[in-house]
Amino acid sequence: MYKTKIQDAKREAYFINRRLLHLPKSHLRIRIRKLYDVWAYAEETETGNYRTILNCEFPSYKLFRDVLAHELIHQWQYYTGDPGTHNKNFFTWRKSFGRLGYDILKEY
Ligand SMILES: [Zn+2]
């Protein structure tokens, strides 16, 4: 079991962003909460802010970083005006993330 730490989340997010996504900082805000039916989600708030919400624990660190990578791809979609679904644009990232050890799956 891995308990989500904001420092880990930021380190992973900044690494992914530096290597791949190149998003502005406004798309890299992260919150940790107790979630009940998903591991995480990416959101655009009513006031036009972007946040990634992560569950407070994961079965493994590996799942934590894979889920975070998945949600950051949704942030990239918001940034580029894509609807943010698991469409073709979403999966164009699968290979480059895979090279860095992140497995991008459809469902979390
Ligand atoms: Zn998703």
DSSP, res 101: T
Q: Does any domain span residue 18? A: yes
DSSP, res 92: T
pLDDT digits (tens, 9 = 90+) for 51-99: 999 999 999 999 999 999 999 999 999 999 998 899 999 999 999 999 9
Q: Does any domain span residue 28? A: yes
Percent share of the chain, pLDDT over 70:
99
Band of residue 4 on the pLDDT scale cut at 50, 70, 90: very high
Name the residue range of residue 8's domain.
2-99
Distance CA 27, CA 42 (A): 10
CA of 90 to the centre of ligand 1 (A): 9
DSSP, res 28: -
CA of 76 to the centre of ligand 1 (A): 12
Quote the crossing angle between the two packed helices 61-79 and 6-16, to the nearest 10°.
Answer: 50
Q: Does any domain span residue 40? A: yes
Query: In CATH, what number is assigned to the domain containing residue 65?
Result: 3.30.2010
Q: Does any domain span residue 108? A: no
Q: Of the candidates 7, 10, 2, which has an alpha carbon nearest to the alpha carbon of residue 52? A: 10
Residue 107 has pLDDT above 80, yes or no: no
SS3 state at 93: coil
Q: Does any domain span residue 45? A: yes
Which residues are within 8 A (CB) of 23 and not within 5 positions of it... i.e. 6 or more apart?
17, 72, 75, 76, 79
Distance CA 18, CA 40 (A): 22
CA of 7 to the centre of ligand 1 (A): 23
Q: Does any domain span residue 105? A: no
CA of 41 to the centre of ligand 1 (A): 7
The pTM (predicted TM-score) of the whole model is 0.95
Q: Does any domain span residue 107? A: no
CA of 1 to the centre of ligand 1 (A): 22
Mean pLDDT, rounded, of the chain: 95
CA of 20 to the centre of ligand 1 (A): 18
The total of structural domains in the chain comes to 1
Distance CA 37, CA 11 (A): 25
Q: Does any domain span residue 104? A: no
DSSP, res 9: H
